């Protein structure tokens, strides 16, 4: 008796201490105004411990529900079960991506194993699985329709696909695999960030800067000054790297940058090679354990392609339609170089391709992309983008000050519908920092939607690594950077305009070969005169892009389009082959194997140390990520080129077509089959010809 009483007292004391810790911790409650100014690395581990325990209690409650099974106490409860934990992990994961510190990284890595084990264990919980099957056998379940029917069917399929029917030993092994994959992929991402930040080059001789645009030179000067150095400082972050590779006349420096970039994550102390081998092994083992032939079939069963074979056929078909023009473009580039430098000019090296391509484009079309930069100040671009969202979808985007942010450069916006309803908000973080990972992305912090009481607003974010302000000028962007902003805002619209009640099916929680449609279609408005006039205004005079310059830009759009397409197809081939046919015994080191595959898609011979996939975070910085799914970019590009024809033919500002796209695509999430949603919007199956025409390949 005394022992049980002591145990009860200890349990009560633990509960009281947890409640006290929870009340003081900024991560333990979902807050629409995220207290980014109060979150510290020391909050992470205690908060996640509390939220994990609460989620476990909710899981046990659903599994042991004493009343009769209903949608509310089983399926809806399952959908809501992890929401506080999801929110906290999304915030912590985001902060580790945009403002990392050694303390935050250590805390994030410390909680990852337990969190991964918990999520992996959800479909493996025998009581929960029994409860779901019991509900599926009820008359109420038999009568479900719409998104509730889809949620039940997808949940049953997902539980089976993720090991619900495995024996105890199989479940234990699956959990081990998921925990190790989480640990290894997190380490992969950290290695890429650290190896990227480890490289810097100071140039002290101004003559060696020849060819660089003034914007890049000014940025490099300010970068050096921030480090207390003279001269010009360059890094591997996107604005520096692409400026050097595209414009710098000095071939030796271009080569140094190319070599450094292509071996990120491939050299000590950040060598990802062993991680890649192990990640591939674990993914293959996981697929086999769950009854699939390979990881691609496991990942794609619930996507539009369904199988690795079908995804590969899709890539092979595009390759066949592209490679003749690809080879022709590369012959033309070499001929151009020799027309300038003489017939004895050498073959092109990889670090020459972007440089001579830009020279050739300027010669063919009298077009220099840098001539557009003064017309793309960031503030004007975002204002025009928000104007476009208003014209197409009736949205009102307004900046809000005083909201806590993680960096002074971050901005926050509220989004309202045309009728005044509050839909949600988002943060925008556009500039590179050394404590921020590269690339561009959209993130979901809170997935809201219709609810019995009232609409729950959504909260998201968009991040990039764009050209920062320099020399007292505003941030002046390249056209490609403008496309990046439009792309990520398309993802954000998919999140913010969701009208799905079930959180798991809402927003961008869709098949990955469908998720890029809302983002990629937005890029089309970066090429239309009417929409450009909304935001492309000279930062000093306010003048629109001159018609002559606009026409040059349009004519140059398809320049080396076959090379751009083959590059993406090459990544898709590497991805699928590594996840379907790769054998370490037969094919050797996966980095070298990938280099051999990529050579067929590359305009110049790759050097022996080329190790692109060692820094390929899309494939290896997440337990799944774009692994076996990189083809999705091209799959969705077919959809976006085809879908945009409706706007092109009926008016790029058509509110009617915008309303249809919003209602049938943006608002629907995964509440219906994506192929059906696409057919409803277009009235037919997708036609790949639109993409080939856009690229000048038809």
Task: Catalogue the active-site residues.
Answer: 488
Rounded distance between C-alpha atoms, residue 607 and residue 236, angstroms: 19
Please say whether the beta carbons of 493 and 389 come within 8 A. yes
Quick one: DSSP state of residue 666?
I
Of 203, 192, 179, nearest to 263 by C-alpha is: 192
Q: Which residues contact 673 (CB under 8 A, 6 or more apart)?
A: none
- Pick left, alpha or beta for residue 306 (phi over 0 → left; psi -120 to 50 → alpha; otherwise beta): left
Angle at 212 between CA 210 and CA 214, to 5 degrees: 110
Rounded distance between C-alpha atoms, residue 125 and residue 164, angstroms: 7
Please say whether the beta carbons of 427 and 448 come within 8 A. no
Name the token pair of 305: 């392609």
Continuous segment of H or E residues that includes residue 233? strand 232-235
C-alpha separations of 664 from 66, 154, 620, 668, 678 in Å: 39, 20, 33, 6, 8
Q: Burial code of 335-360, b = ≥16 C-beta within 10 A, e = fewer?
A: ebbeeeeeeebeebbbbbbbbbbbbb
Of 162, 174, 165, nearest to 133 by C-alpha is: 165
Of 623, 520, 486, 527, nearest to 93 by C-alpha is: 623
| Rg over CA atoms, the chain | 26
**Terminal C-alpha separation, the chain:** 83
Rounded distance between C-alpha atoms, residue 39 and residue 87, angstroms: 13
Q: What is the sign of the dihedral through the CA atoms of 172, 176, 182 and 185? A: negative
């Amino acid at each position: 008796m005394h022992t049980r009483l002591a145990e009860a007292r200890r349990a009560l004391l633990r509960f009281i201490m947890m409640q006290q810790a929870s009340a003081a911790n900024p991560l333990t409650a979902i807050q629409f105004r995220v207290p980014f100014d109060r979150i510290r690395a020391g909050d992470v581990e205690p908060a996640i411990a509390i939220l994990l325990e609460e989620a476990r209690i909710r899981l046990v409650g659903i599994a042991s529900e004493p009343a009769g099974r209903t949608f509310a106490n089983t399926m809806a409860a399952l959908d809501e079960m992890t929401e506080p934990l999801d929110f906290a992990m999304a915030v912590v994961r985001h902060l580790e991506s945009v403002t990392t510190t050694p303390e935050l990284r250590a805390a994030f890595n410390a909680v990852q194993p337990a969190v991964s084990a918990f999520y992996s264990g959800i479909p493996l919980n025998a009581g929960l699985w029994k409860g779901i099957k019991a509900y599926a056998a009820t008359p109420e379940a038999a009568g479900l329709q719409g998104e509730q029917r889809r949620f039940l069917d997808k949940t049953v399929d997902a539980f089976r696909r993720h090991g619900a029917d495995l024996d105890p030993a199989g479940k234990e092994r699956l959990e081990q695999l998921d925990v190790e994959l989480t640990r290894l992929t997190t380490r992969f991402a950290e290695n890429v960030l650290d190896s990227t930040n480890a490289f810097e080059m100071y140039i002290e001789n101004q003559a060696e800067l020849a060819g660089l645009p003034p914007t890049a030179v000014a940025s490099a000067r300010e970068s050096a000054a921030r480090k207390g150095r003279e001269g010009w400082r360059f890094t591997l972050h996107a604005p520096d790297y692409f400026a050097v590779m595209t414009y710098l006349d000095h071939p030796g420096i271009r080569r140094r940058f190319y070599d450094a970039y292509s071996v990120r994550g491939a050299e000590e102390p950040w060598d990802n090679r062993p991680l890649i081998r192990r990640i591939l092994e674990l993914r293959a083992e996981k697929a086999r354990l769950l009854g699939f032939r390979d990881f691609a079939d496991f990942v794609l069963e619930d996507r539009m392609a369904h199988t690795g074979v079908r995804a590969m056929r899709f890539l092979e078909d595009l390759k066949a339609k592209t490679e003749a023009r690809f080879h022709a473009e590369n012959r033309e580039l070499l001929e151009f170089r020799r027309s300038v430098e003489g017939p004895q000019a050498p073959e092109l090296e990889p670090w020459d391709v972007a440089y001579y391509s830009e020279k050739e484009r300027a010669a063919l079309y009298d077009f220099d992309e840098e001539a557009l930069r003064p017309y793309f100040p960031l503030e004007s671009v975002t204002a025009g983008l928000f104007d476009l969202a208003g014209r197409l979808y009736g949205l009102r985007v307004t900046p809000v000050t005083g909201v806590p942010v993680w960096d002074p450069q971050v901005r926050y916006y509220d989004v309202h519908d045309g009728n005044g309803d509050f839909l949600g908000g988002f943060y925008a973080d556009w500039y590179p920092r050394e404590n921020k990972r590269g690339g561009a992305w959209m993130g979901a912090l809170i997935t809201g939607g219709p609810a019995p009481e009232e609409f729950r607003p959504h909260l998201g974010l968009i991040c990039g690594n764009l050209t920062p302000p320099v020399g007292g000028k505003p941030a002046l962007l390249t056209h490609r950077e403008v496309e990046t902003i439009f792309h990520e805002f398309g993802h954000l619209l998919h999140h913010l305009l969701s009208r799905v009640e079930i959180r798991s099916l809402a927003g961008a929680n869709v098949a990955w070969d469908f998720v890029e449609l809302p983002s990629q279609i937005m890029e089309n408005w970066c090429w239309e005169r009417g929409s450009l006039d909304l935001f492309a205004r000279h930062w000093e005079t306010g003048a629109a892009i001159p018609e002559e310059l606009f026409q040059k830009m349009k004519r140059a759009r398809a320049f080396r389009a076959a090379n751009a397409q083959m590059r993406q197809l090459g990544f898709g081939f590497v991805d699928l082959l590594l996840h379907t046919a790769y054998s370490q015994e037969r094919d050797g080191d996966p980095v070298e194997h990938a280099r051999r595959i990529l050579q067929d898609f590359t305009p110049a011979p790759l050097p022996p140390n080329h190790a692109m996939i060692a820094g390929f975070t899309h494939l290896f910085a997440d337990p799944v990520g774009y692994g076996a799914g990189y083809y999705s970019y091209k799959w969705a590009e077919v959809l976006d080129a085809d879908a945009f024809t409706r706007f092109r033919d009926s008016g790029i500002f058509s509110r009617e077509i915008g309303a249809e796209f919003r209602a049938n695509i943006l608002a629907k999430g995964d509440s219906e089959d994506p192929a059906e949603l696409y057919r409803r919007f277009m009235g037919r199956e997708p036609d790949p010809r639109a993409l080939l025409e856009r690229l000048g390949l038809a």
